[in-house]
Structure 1
Amino acid sequence: MIEHSSEVLLQLYPELATPGGLGAALDLEAVRRGHGGERLGPVEGFAPSVAACCTRGKARFAVYATNPDEREFRIEISTDSGWRWGAFGSTDDLAVVDAILYAWREGASIDQLRLEWPLLAAYPLGAAPPGRVVSTAWRLTLERSPTIRLGDAELAEALYAQPALRVFFPFPSHGQFSLLSSTADPFYAELPRAEPRLDGLWNVVLLRSCWTPHIPSRVLGTGLSAREAAALIAASIPAGSGPAIEGGWPHPPPTETR
C-alpha cells in the first residue's frame, strides 16, 4: 500500500488531507466547476488518499498523487477496448485533471483528448515532465505499474535503496536488470547489470560495448542476493558516470583502431 506521510500531504497535496482522499478531492472540484458525475472509486494496491479511478464501459480513467518530491497528478486513460496504453499525463493542477476527466466522461475519444490537452502522451514516460523521466520510471517500477516493463520486484527495491543508482534509468528485460545512462534508444549501458540464475540468486556482469571496446566483458560476482547484487553494482559505477540523460545517447561510439 502506497501512502504519503501527513507532512507530504500538507505540503504538496493539501486537498488530499481531507476524508476520502484524491477521489473526494476530485468530486469537490467537479462540483465547484459544475461538472457532475459518478463518484470516483479506489485503485487496487493504493490508499484512497493517493489514487482514484472510474470506468466508462471497458475504458478506465485513473489518477495518482504518488510523487513524494513534487506536486504531480499522474493520469492514465485506457482505450474503449480496455487497452491500457491510451493516454498518459502529468499536471500539478487538479482543475486540469477535472477538465480532462469531464471531457472523457462526456465521451471524448483518446485522440480528441490528446488534441485538446497536449500534456497527454501515448506512453507513460512520454508524459513525464522534463527532468523527471528517470524518477518517473523508478516510481512506476516500484509501484509495479502494468504500463511499463517490470523486473524482479525485490531486485528493483534493492537497486533503488542504493542512492547512487537512482540517477540511472531502470531497464529490466528478459529477466535481466540494467541501469542505463540514457532513457531512449540508442541506450548506453556503462554499469554492470544483474542477470538471474536458476537458483533465484543473481550474477553481476559487465559487458563490453561498442562505446567501451577497451573494456572486456567479465563477471564481477556470482550467486548474489538482490541486496548484494545492488551493492556490487553501486560499487562498480565508473568514475564520472551519471546521471542518465533524457533521450538517446548523443555521443557516437569511438572508432576502433586496427
Structure 2
Amino acid sequence: MQAALDDTGHDLTAQLTSSPGWWDCVTRVGDDHRHVTTIAGSEERCFRMEFWQRGVAMAGAKAADLPAAARAISLWQTGRCLSELQSACSFVQYDPLAEAHERGDAVEVRWAIYRRTSAPHVDHDLIEAAYAQPRLRALFPFHSHRSLNFSRCTGFPYTHDVPVIDPRPHGTYRVVWWQNRSPHIPASIGEADNPHDAVALVVAHLPRNCGPAVAGTADDLDGTDST
C-alpha cells in the first residue's frame, strides 16, 4: 500500500492497524479530520475501503486493483468531495446521508430517514413525538438496537449527555442516562406510559446550553460533554 501511495505522487503514509480478525490486514491513511481505512480480503484479492470525515463514514468502496485503491485514497486525502471522488473512481459508493453531511444538513436528513423508514427497530410514534419537540429536533438522532439516542454532534463518537429513551414491552418507555454514567447499568430517570411523556422527561433533563448539533465528534467538544 505504501508503495502504491508513493506512486500517486502524494505525500501520504499508510499506517498498519490492528485487524478485526477475519481479514489479513488493515491500513489507515490520514488523521482524525479525514482518513481512509483499507481492509485486505483473506480469501480473494480485494481491498475494501471506508472514507471518513469528522467522525462520519462518508463512502465505501471495493477494488481488486491496489493502484486504483491508492488513487482513491489520495484523491480523498487531497480534499475531493464525494461527487468528485466517485467521478474519478466509479467503484466508490455513498448514500444521501453522506451527501447531507457534506452539505451541512445531516440532522434534518437523519430525522427524515427515521420518519419514513419501515425498519422494525424504529418506534414511529416515538420518533414523531421527539421530532415535535424543537430542542430535540435540533439534535442528531441515532439508534442503538431499539433505544433512541440524541447527540449534540453529528460524527462518531457521539455525545452521551442527553437521556436515552428505551421502548419497553406493552408500549411503555424507560428514560435513562447513557450507560457510561453508571458503573453497572444505565441510571434510570423515569418510566413513561406513552412516547410524549417519555420525550418530556428527556427535554426536562437536557444539559445546560444544549444547542443544535454541530459537525464533528464528541472529542471536538469539551471533553466533559462526551460523558
Task: Identify which of 86, 94, 103 aligns with 1:114.
Answer: 86
Residues 3-62 of structure 1 deviation map (CA, whole Å, 9 limit, x = unaligned): xxxxxxxxxxxxxxxxxxxxxxxxxxxxxxxxxxxxxxxxxxxxxxxxxxxxxxxxxxxx
Counterpart CA distance in 1 for 2:84 and 2:210 is 42
More helix by percentage: 2
The residue aligned with 1:13 is: none
Is structure 2 residue 110 aligned with structure 1 residue 137?
A: yes
The residue aligned with 1:183 is: 154
The question of whether the paired residues in 1 share the 8 Å contact of 2:121 and 2:146 is answered with no
Counterpart CA distance in 1 for 2:223 and 2:84 is 45
Residues 77-124 of structure 1 deviation map (CA, whole Å, 9 limit, x = unaligned): xxxxxxxxxx9xxxxxxxxxxxxxxxxxxxxxxx99931699x96122
Counterpart CA distance in 2 for 1:246 and 1:252 is 10
The question of whether the paired residues in 2 share the 8 Å contact of 1:195 and 1:202 is answered with yes
Residues 185-242 of structure 1 deviation map (CA, whole Å, 9 limit, x = unaligned): 1111211010121222100001354xx78xx952111143111111111121111123
Query: Judging changes above 3 Å, is the alpha-carbon distance between structure 1 residues 167 and 254 closer, same or farther for their aligned structure 2 residues?
Result: closer
What TM-score, normalized to structure 1? 0.46
Is structure 2 residue 106 aligned with structure 1 residue 123?
A: no
Partner secondary structure for residue 126 of structure 1: helix
Count of residue correspondences: 140
Counterpart CA distance in 2 for 1:130 and 1:112 is 14
The question of whether the paired residues in 2 share the 8 Å contact of 1:151 and 1:173 is answered with no
Counterpart CA distance in 2 for 1:112 and 1:239 is 40
Query: Judging changes above 3 Å, is the alpha-carbon distance between structure 1 residues 150 and 114 closer, same or farther for their aligned structure 2 residues?
Result: farther
Higher relative contact order (CA 8 A, sep 6+): 2
Structure 2 spans left out of the alignment, 5+ residues: 1-58, 60-82
1:176 positional shift: 0.5
What TM-score, normalized to structure 2? 0.52
Query: Judging changes above 3 Å, is the alpha-carbon distance between structure 1 residues 246 and 112 closer, same or farther for their aligned structure 2 residues?
Result: closer
The residue aligned with 1:197 is: 168
Partner secondary structure for residue 137 of structure 1: helix
The residue aligned with 2:143 is: 172
The question of whether the paired residues in 2 share the 8 Å contact of 1:192 and 1:236 is answered with yes
Counterpart CA distance in 1 for 2:118 and 2:167 is 21
Query: Judging changes above 3 Å, is the alpha-carbon distance between structure 1 residues 247 and 235 closer, same or farther for their aligned structure 2 residues?
Result: same
Partner secondary structure for residue 107 of structure 2: helix
Partner secondary structure for residue 141 of structure 2: strand
The question of whether the paired residues in 2 share the 8 Å contact of 1:170 and 1:178 is answered with yes
Structure 1 spans left out of the alignment, 5+ residues: 1-86, 88-110
Partner secondary structure for residue 182 of structure 1: coil
The residue aligned with 2:35 is: none
